[in-house]
Amino acid sequence: MRILVTGGAGYIGSHTVVELLSVGHDVIVIDNFSNSKSSSFEAISKISGKDVIFYEGDVADISFLRNVFSKHSIDAVIHFAGYKAVGESVEKPLKYYDNNLISTIRLLEVMEEYQCYRLVFSSSATVYGSPKSLPILEDFSLSTTNPYGTTKLMIETILTDVSASNSKWSFAMLRYFNPIGAHESGMIGEDPNGIPNNLMPYIMKVSTGELPDLKIFGNDYDTPDGTGVRDYIHVVDLAKGHLKAIDYVMEHVGVEAFNLGTGHGVSVLDLVHTFERVNHISIPYTIVERRSGDIASCYADCTKAHEKLHWTSSKTLEEMCEDSYRYVINQKKK
């Protein structure tokens, strides 16, 4: 199949492109490199032994999109492109509503023009807000606590309305839990500029000495060791979930949401200690105040993805920590 991947130079997108190429799909990538570099494609080519067709441009640019669709007969789209920093979205909400919503609307318009009706969308566990119980099921009530999360929820609503308007559409909305890890080659991964907001990128910068110590946001939560519990999923497992979702949208119509996680809750201290153990390295930390907006625990029930997508995660927390460390060490050598 010929798959268009928006945001395919980014963290999850680049891993997904590798998996798509490995099973023989033709892949076309669009990215404006607002949060990535074109060097992703060199790494993808080295890993897969295949070249990626890519177009540098903005998904919100309708004439650019039409040009890409007119050149390639696209069977399905995976839509990763968007901004994702929660804190920045609170400071600059219009930037988030503009990029995330407009790019999605333009993409849907052009897909309809070219009669391409299959889309896999990057949603997030953030749409569950503060869940009433755990593990989280797809039919839990939805709410958000920041503009980034609201863009995800609004896009889910848009996809639901568009699906109701024309029965040709097929949408899989993948609600990711906490992706970490990197490709086992160490050639692609996540390496944000500046001070990271998320836990694993922060641990990675402490592991290389770029930052002196990890600040753990609270140890007085109602969790086994008092630190926040999340469902960390290896990015390669997540990438493979997209291949299953592509198969699903090719065979079904309508709109479905799927949780992609491991189903296991891991605390901040569990993650830190696992990282230290498998990589034989010390991660100094201090306990500081809770971060505003954080919830105590969040983990998925992934039964629906297992039953309908025939997908399940397979990589361990140890592998997530080893692969993250391998990637950051490789980056340092460059």
Residues of this chain that interact with ligand NAD (CB under 6 A) are 6-7, 9-13, 30-36, 58-60, 80-82, 84, 99, 103, 122, 124, 176, 179
Separation of alpha carbons 79 and 31, rounded Å: 11
Compute the C-alpha angle 141/231/144, nearest 5°: 30
Bridge partners of 6, per DSSP, are 30, 79
- What residues pair up with 26 in beta bridges, in sequence order? 2
The distance of closest approach from Cβ of residue 118 to ligand UFG in the complex, given in angstroms and rounded to an integer, is 24
34 binds, among ligand UFG, ligand NAD, none (CB under 5 to 8 A by kind): ligand NAD
Selected binder of ligand UFG within 213, 225, 294, 318 (CB under 6 A) = 294
Q: Does 216 bind ligand UFG (CB under 6 A)?
A: yes
Residue 290 structure tokens: 């809770």
Positions 105 through 144 that interact with ligand UFG (CB under 6 A): 124-126
The Cα 196–Cα 165 span in angstroms is 41
| Sole binder of ligand UFG in the list 64, 202, 258, 327 (CB under 6 A) | 202
Output 84 or 264, the one with its CB closest to ligand NAD. Answer: 84
Beta carbon nearer to ligand UFG, 106 or 240: 240
End-to-end Cα distance, the chain: 35
* Nearer CB in complex with ligand UFG: 65/172: 172
Which of ligand UFG, ligand NAD, none sits in contact with 86, Cβ below 5 to 8 A by type?
Answer: ligand UFG
The rounded distance, in Å, linking the Cα atoms of 298 and 263 is 9
* C-beta separation of 125 from 175 below 8 A: yes
Residues 286/318/172/3 CA torsion (nearest 10 deg): 110
Tell which residue, 289, 238, 296, has the closest CA to residue 268.
296
Q: Does 268 bind ligand UFG (CB under 6 A)?
A: yes
Query: Backbone phi, then psi, for 303, in 5-degree steps?
Result: -60, -40
| Contact code string over 51-90 relative to ligand UFG, x by CB under 6 A | ---------------------------------x-x----
Closer to ligand NAD at the Cβ: 9 or 168? Answer: 9
> Segment contacting ligand UFG (CB under 6 A): 5-13, 22-30, 31-39, 212-220?
212-220
The most distant pair of C-alpha atoms in the chain lies apart, rounded to whole Å, by 56
176 belongs to the catalytic site: no
Sign of the CA dihedral 6, 193, 154, 293? positive
Binding site for ligand UFG (CB under 6 A): 84, 86, 124-126, 176-178, 197-199, 202, 215-217, 228, 230, 268, 291, 294
Show which residues are catalytic.
148
